[in-house]
Structure 1
Amino acid sequence: MASLKLTCVVALALLCMVVITAPTAVTSTSCIKVSAYLTPCLSYLRGGSGPSKLCCYGAKKLNGTAGTTADRQATCKCLKSAAGFVSGLNDTNAGTLSAKCDLNLPYKFGPDTDCTSITL
């Protein structure tokens, strides 16, 4: 129960921080949406053994909502911003999330990803 409360508090804090640091670009993908879709992935992103079905569902839904180059770049910027607030983030797991969820993305996400180079 305490673990669930801690996870909820962390997710809420992450969501609040993402809203504060959200890019100002107007696209159909907002940082709030990005956080909502990927909150179930926090355990895996912190070094858990594998992403949950709910995590992969969110990742796939998020990928489906980023339908333009601008949306994908905005999503990338949101992810990079949010990653700075996740304590214990495992860069390897973050980089392999899309593959583990059977998403065929043309780039690997990580702290050094150049969001401006991402295209549709």
Structure 2
Amino acid sequence: MCLVLALHFGEAAVSCNTVIADLYPCLSYVAQGGNVPDSCCNGIRTLNGQAQTSVDRQGVCRCIKSAIGGVSFSSSNLNNALSLPAKCGVNLPYRISPNTNCDR
């Protein structure tokens, strides 16, 4: 029983599906700029609130990297993604970027 609990607590509590669903409303802003949708900021706040442990934050970071890693972004798209936390008033412990080191 202790082993099962130890394994459970070592896993990220936030799934990649949750990360993608919460950040989906941000795609229009990342692609085109303009105003950040309220639903995007709500998703970022939700993810930040759910990822309380280092394991959770690293898992969310890896999901973001995985989701954007296979897509070609222009520099303006990357700048839009990087600006999201500040525009939403959220202090994330990592950058929304394909170059982020999620292990730190």
Contact 1:96/1:108 (<8 A) preserved:
no
Question: What percent of counterpart residues are identical?
Answer: 47
Q: What TM-score does the superposition give when structure 1 sets the normalisation length?
A: 0.70
Report the AA paired with residue 51 of structure 1. V
Instruction: Count residues in correspondence.
Output: 93
For the structure 1 residues 28 and 107, does the alpha-carbon distance in structure 2 shift closer, same or farther, using more than 3 Å as the test?
Answer: closer
Pick from 28, 36, 42 the counterpart of residue 57 of structure 1.
Answer: 42
List, as ranges, runs of 4+ consecutive aligned residues in structure 1 with deviation greater than 3 Å: 85-89
Q: What TM-score does the superposition give when structure 2 sets the normalisation length?
A: 0.80
2:20 aligned with 1:41: no
Q: How far 1:87 moved relative to its partner?
A: 5.7
Structure 1, unaligned stretches of length 5 or more? 1-24
Pick from 80, 89, 111 the counterpart of residue 98 of structure 2.
Answer: 111
Q: How far 1:110 moved relative to its partner?
A: 1.3
Q: How far 1:108 moved relative to its partner?
A: 2.7
Q: How far 1:105 moved relative to its partner?
A: 2.4
3-state SS in 1 of match to 2:81: helix
The equivalent of 2:4 in structure 1 is none
Query: What RMSD over aligned residues (CA atoms) do the two structures have, in Å?
Result: 1.8
For the structure 1 residues 59 and 32, does the alpha-carbon distance in structure 2 shift closer, same or farther, using more than 3 Å as the test?
Answer: same
For the structure 1 residues 106 and 72, does the alpha-carbon distance in structure 2 shift closer, same or farther, using more than 3 Å as the test?
Answer: closer
Structure 2, unaligned stretches of length 5 or more? 1-9
